[in-house]
Amino acid sequence: MIDFTLSRKLKTNYQTSFPFPYIVIDDFFSYYRLSQCLEELKKNNHWSTNQAEWMNEFSVKKFWLPDEEEDISIVKSKVPITTSVIEYLTSPKFIKYLEELTGIKNLQKDPMLLGGGIHKINSGGHLSIHKDYNTNHKSGKRRKLNLLLYLNKDWDKSWGGNLELWNKNLTHKIVEVEPIFNRAVIFNIDDAPHGHPHPLNCPEDRSRYSLALYYFIDENDDKKTQVEFFDHNLLSEKHYEINIEDITLDKSKNTTFKY
């Protein structure tokens, strides 16, 4: 289902990207299998959402599965097709692919999917620009890598929901990525501001779906266990943008790759 030769072909692009190592790959997974996932998630009514008052400003109409305190077996029973995709993307073979692509050795999956798994944002929702937690507070392992896989068919540009990658000192938005179906975004999380800060403008009967997989290493000299959010209104209005859709296929630039 995955073209495992891409890790060798794209590793230089990934490791030299700005503002931090990342890559965007279209047609990433089996179209048929992801279509099954999407239909399964549309029918699923078992979701968790934010209960912390301090998060209300930064995470709006966001839902996820599994909940932090939830037995992972419950997730498998609710969304078995989607679970099978997650298991594939956390398998030893796929992790070796990520290690070659990113240059990060000894990556490990998180069997509890803490903060990850399946994400859904409803109309009007957003997720502010933020830096992710570095330490899994349950395992103590250091988080190094994110993989986001979008599940949004026939996504209209006017609906927004684009992923934004900002420079490390938060003065410029560097990259903007539309969350279209079967598009994967992989990036290092160390000091990596990202999010989709503008409210979704999609119809009420549509949602923004994604799978979020996080990968860890044992070594840990950073004990930050909380996500660090930023008020989008206070970020610089002077920024430049690279919209993935507008870049031609040029191996010397940060771009979207189709294979």
- Residue 249: its pLDDT value, please? 31
> β-strands 59-65, 142-150: how paired?
unpaired
Please state whether the predicted TM-score (pTM) of the whole model is above 0.75. Answer: yes
**C-alpha–C-alpha distance, residues 202 and 122, integer Å:** 8
Phi, psi of 232 (to 5 degrees): -60, -30
**C-alpha–C-alpha distance, residues 59 and 115, integer Å:** 13
Which segment, 59-68, 82-91, 190-199, is predicted with the most confidence on average? Answer: 82-91
Residues 140-163 pLDDT 10s: 888 899 999 999 999 999 999 999
In total, the chain counts a number of residues equal to 259
Task: Determine how many CB atoms are found less than 10 A away from the CB of residue 87.
Answer: 12
* pLDDT > 50? residue 236: no
- Which ranges of the chain does DSSP label H, i.e. alpha helix? 6-15, 31-43, 72-78, 80-89, 92-102
Rg (CA), the chain: 17
